[in-house]
Structures are given as C-alpha cells and as structure tokens.
Amino acid sequence: MAELERYLAENASGIHPALEWLERETHLRTNHARMLCGPQVGMLLTTLCRMMSPQNVLEIGTFTGYSAISIALGLTEGGHLDAVEINDELEDFIYEGFDRAGVRERISLHIGDAAQIVPALNKIYDIVYLDANKREYCSYYEMVFPLLRPGGYILADNVLWDGKVYAHEPSADAQTQEIIRFNRMVKEDRRTENFILPLRDGINLIRKL
C-alpha cells in the first residue's frame, strides 16, 4: 500500500502547501491522524466542486479541516461550505489551516452536534460530504436527504471500513454493522442512484433523483 500511495503521489498534481502542513501537524497534534481523508480523497473533492460549481456544500465531520480546505479550494466565486465538527478542542487548529489555505471566508465552521446544527442552518445543498461518527450514518442520511437538491450528491466516506463490511464473517461491532446497514439502505432507496468508489477506504457516491 505504501508503494501505491507513493506512485499515486508521484503521478498526480501536487497538493496545496497548506494541506501538506496540515497533514504534518495533524500527526504531531492529534492521536487520530488516520482520520484525515488524505490527498486522493481531497483532490477528488476539489475536482468534483470544480466540475459541479456548487453554491452550498455541507460537511459533517471536519476533524482538522483537510477535507474542508479541499472542498473550499474547488469552490467557484459565491460557493460556500458549512463545516460541522463536534470536537471543540480542534477549533483553533482548524481555523489555522483555513487561514494558511486562504479559504476562511468560504467556510462557516460550526462546532457542536450535527443533529442540532444542520436543521437550524435552513439551507438547501448541492453536495453533502459525510465523514463523521460511523454509528450515525443512517441517521445523518435521513437528516440531510431533504436538504439536498434534486441532482445533488451525498458523498459518504469510509464505507468499506477496512474491508470489514465485505468480510466473509463481518465484524459485529457497532460501526461495521451501521455501515453495512447504511450501504444497503442507500442501495434500496429508489429516490437515488449510487455506486461505491473503492478509493482509499471507499466512498459511496449517491445522487438524488
């Protein structure tokens, strides 16, 4: 896997210096650096935003801000991101990254529980990026679906969960079981069309019909 990551990095456009800084600092300042979406997912988010020119994007689960910066770098003039993060201890660190990337004015950071924050924002979104508590994926989906415009996309990260969801005997832990339920629920939802992109830990790309 390390060789693959190296090859991918060597044969893709370079990432923003602020993201390089953020990845290093996340390893130094937190104990959960593996939660970063990383360069491949980050560049996908930037590219999708450049392709779709969304006006309103919602992110649930910002962590240290890598994915938020990636989204903001792809926004056209007037585009805006609402980023929700439950861990208030990360707030200053997140803003430091936003400032280094020059994207602070494109992002509204909301610290707290998404279940309380998102409905109060009272917006319709073009893209929703979901990368928060895996035990709540189905609840998040039901919450954001009415807020997504027809033709808009939900991108749910980590839906392959290190291969646990498709193992011969899937793990019984709550996170694995919830992601299994989530992927099945999306597949059976006639209001959508979807496919799972096996990039990094898997992204479920869900289009609202």
CATH number, residue 154? 3.40.50.150
Q: Which domain holds residue 147?
A: 2-208
Kindly state the average pLDDT of the residues 2-31.
92
Kindly state the average pLDDT of the residues 57-69.
98
The model's pTM is: 0.95
For residue 207, give the DSSP letter. Answer: E
Band of residue 8 on the pLDDT scale cut at 50, 70, 90: confident
Per the structure block, which two tokens stand in for 74?
């792809």
User: What long-range pairs does 24-28 form, CB within 8 A, spacing at least 24?
Assistant: 25/64, 25/93, 25/97, 26/63, 26/64, 26/66
For residue 11, give the DSSP letter. Answer: T
Distance CA 12, CA 20 (A): 14
Give the count of domains, the chain: 1
- Check residue 109 and give its pLDDT: 98
Q: Could you count the other beta carbons within 10 Å of the beta carbon of residue 183? A: 21
- Check residue 125 and give its pLDDT: 98
Kindly state the average pLDDT of the residues 14-37.
94
In the chain, the percentage of residues whose pLDDT exceeds 70 is 100
